[in-house]
Amino acid sequence: MRPHPSIADRLYGALSWLAFLAVSLPLVAVLCVLPGEDRRRRAARLAARTWVTLSGCSLAVRGLENLPPDSCIVAANHASYLDGLLLTAVLPPRFAFVIKREMTQVPVAHFLLRRIGSQFVERFDTRRGATDARRVLALAEARQCLAFFPEGTFHAEPGLRRFQNGAFAAAVRGNVPVVPVAIIGTRDMLPADAWLPRRRPLVVIVKPAVRHNGEHDAVAALRKACRSSILMDLGEPDLT
């Protein structure tokens, strides 16, 4: 059973939500009128960074120099709704996020994500999922930078779950490296079974890029190498 939140936790949670509203409401207005996807991504990045500052979030970022200057795929573990916000703040604006299609049922989030060029992928309908996958693969083949959460979703239980193939198939199709990213602390700050953020230290570690060498099963080799790299720093169990 999760401990009852302290008064300090409640105050910090309220501050975090106020900071989120303070940046997200103006961002919606800006994204309605701002032309150009690149400009909209830069606005979203500024808003995410502003939230980090206003909320008093303790965020350490390591290894940004490991991001290649040209096309690549980012694959990160997924532990909380905060993960996308942190990656938006940390990554250069050239990245488009690949997100589960269920997020289209959240009106404001869907609008924001669509306006910054996010790609939605169906997980349960096989036919629609195949169509979405082909679209994402075409983007990778055009050497666009994409960011994935290959676990697909998150849970309150700590641990790294099985990775889906999408990010690694995209990397092989586009012949680009995969950059593993370990996100640490978001599950404790805002777990899946809570709505009130708590002040916790957060760390984002950008690991060295992983490249395929034409192996017989390059997708599986990339998936295994990327997952092992994240596990080295994550400090959570391997649930497979």
One DSSP character per residue, the chain reads -PPPPPHHHHHHHHHHHHHHHHHHHHHHHHHHH--SHHHHHHHHHHHHHHHHHHTT--EEEE-GGGS-SS--EEEE---STHHHHHHHHHS-TTPEEEEEGGGGGSHHHHHHHHHTT-EEE-SS-HHHHHHHHHHHHHHHHTT--EEE-TT-S--SS-SB-PPPSHHHHHHHHHT--EEEEEEESHHHHS-TT-SS-----EEEEEPPPB---S-TTHHHHHHHHHHHHHHHHH-S-B--
Per-residue pLDDT of the chain (240 residues; tens, 9 = 90+): 566 778 888 999 999 999 999 999 999 999 999 999 999 999 999 999 999 999 999 999 999 999 999 899 999 999 999 999 999 999 999 999 998 888 888 888 889 999 999 999 887 777 877 888 888 888 888 888 999 999 989 999 999 999 999 999 999 988 999 999 999 999 999 999 888 999 999 999 999 999 987 777 899 999 999 999 999 999 999 998
**Residue ranges per structural domain of the chain:** 58-234
Torsion, Cα 21 23 25 26, to 10 degrees, reads 160
Q: How far is 134 from 200, CA to CA, in rounded Å?
A: 39
What pLDDT is recorded for position 28? 93
What is the C-alpha to C-alpha distance for residues 144 and 74, in angstroms, rounded to an integer? 11
* pLDDT confidence of residue 143: 84
**What is the pLDDT at residue 2?**
60
CATH 3.40.1130.10: does it fit domain 58-234? yes
Distance CA 16, CA 190 (A): 11
Nearest alpha carbon to residue 68 among 44, 91, 41: 91
